[in-house]
Amino acid sequence: MSDTFLADLVVVELGERLAVGLCGGLLQRLGAEVWAVEAADGDPHPESRSAHRALLDAGKRAVAGKDALALLERADVVITSSDWRSGAHAALARAAGRAPVVCDVSAFGTSGPLAGERYTDSMMQAYAGLVDTTGNPDAAPVASRVPIAESSAAVYAAAGVLAALRGRRKSALPHRVEVALFDTAVSMLSTFLPTHFTGGSPRRIGNRHPSMSPWNTYPARDGWVLLCSASDDMWGRVCEVIARPELKSDPRFARMAGRVANAEAADAAIRPWIAAHDVSQCLDAFNAASVPCGPVYTIAEVLADPSLHALDALCSIEDTLPGKRIVVPGRLVHGAPAQGRLPAIPRKPHSDSGAGACDAPLQRTCPPTPPLTREAQGVLSGVRVVEMGSYTTAPLAARNLGALGAYVVKAEPPAGELSRASPPYRDGQSYLCTISNSDKRSVAVDLRTAEGRALFDELLARADVFVENMKPGALARFGYAPEDLARVYPRLVYCSVSGYGAKSPIADRPAMDATIQGRAGVMDLTRGEGVPFKTGVSIADLVGGQFALLAILAGLEYRERTGKGQFIDLSMQELSAWLTQIYWNAPVASAAGSVLPCEDGYLYVETASPTAAMREATRGKSRAEALAILTARGLRCVPVRSVSEVAAHPQTQARALIVDGLTREGRAWPLLACPIRLDPFPAAVRRALGGVGEDLDEVVRDWGLETGSPARSKARG
Burial 352-375, CB ≥16 within 10 A → b, else e: eeeeebbeeebebbbeeeeeeeee
- The answer to whether the beta carbons of residues 422 and 501 sit under 8 Å apart is no
Burial 269-302, CB ≥16 within 10 A → b, else e: bbbebbeebebeebbebbeeeebbbbbbbbbeeb
At a CB cut-off of 8 Å and minimum separation 6, what does 379 contact?
Answer: 163, 164, 166, 167, 170, 404, 405, 678, 681
Task: Return the bridge partners of 78, or none.
Answer: 12, 102
Nearest to 312 by CA among 347, 345, 343: 343
Distance CA 22, CA 152 (A): 10
CA distances from 588 to 470, 521, 585, 591 (A): 37, 15, 8, 8
What is the DSSP pairing of strand 223-228 with strand 293-295? antiparallel
Distance CA 285, CA 293 (A): 10
- The answer to whether the beta carbons of residues 358 and 71 sit under 8 Å apart is yes
Distance CA 119, CA 129 (A): 14
Q: Any long-range contacts for 97-100 (C-beta under 8 Å, 24+ apart)?
A: 98/72, 98/73, 99/12, 99/72, 99/75, 100/76, 100/168, 100/174, 100/175, 100/364, 100/366
Collapsing DSSP to helix, strand or coil, 653 comes out as: helix
Helices (H) and strands (E) in the chain, counts: 27, 30
Distance CA 498, CA 393 (A): 9
Task: Return the bridge partners of 458, or none.
Answer: none
Burial 313-350, CB ≥16 within 10 A → b, else e: bbbebebeeeeeebebbbbbbbbeebbbbbbeebbebb
Cα angle 260-265-271, degrees, rounded to a multiple of 5: 110
Alpha helices in 50-180 (DSSP H): 53-56, 65-72, 87-91, 93-96, 121-127, 148-168
The string of DSSP codes covering 405-468 is: T-EEEEEE-TT--GGGGPSPEETTEEHHHHHHTTT-EEEE--TTSHHHHHHHHHHHHH-SEEEE
Residue 473: HSE in the Cβ half-sphere, 13 Å Cα cutoff: 9
Catalytic residue chosen out of the listed positions 439, 464, 541, 695: 541
Distance CA 671, CA 435 (A): 5
Distance CA 126, CA 542 (A): 18
Nearest to 28 by CA among 52, 62, 58, 71: 58
Catalytic, 541? Answer yes
Distance CA 482, CA 157 (A): 29
Distance CA 39, CA 61 (A): 14
Backbone angles phi, psi at 394, to 5 degrees: -60, -40
Reading phi first (left if > 0) and then psi (alpha if -120 to 50, else beta), residue 116 is in: left
Nearest to 182 by CA among 603, 649, 541, 517: 649
Distance CA 143, CA 146 (A): 9
Distance CA 501, CA 208 (A): 25
Burial class (CB in 10 A: 0-12, 13-18, 19+), 586: exposed
Task: Give the residue numbers annotated as catalytic, written as ranges.
Answer: 541
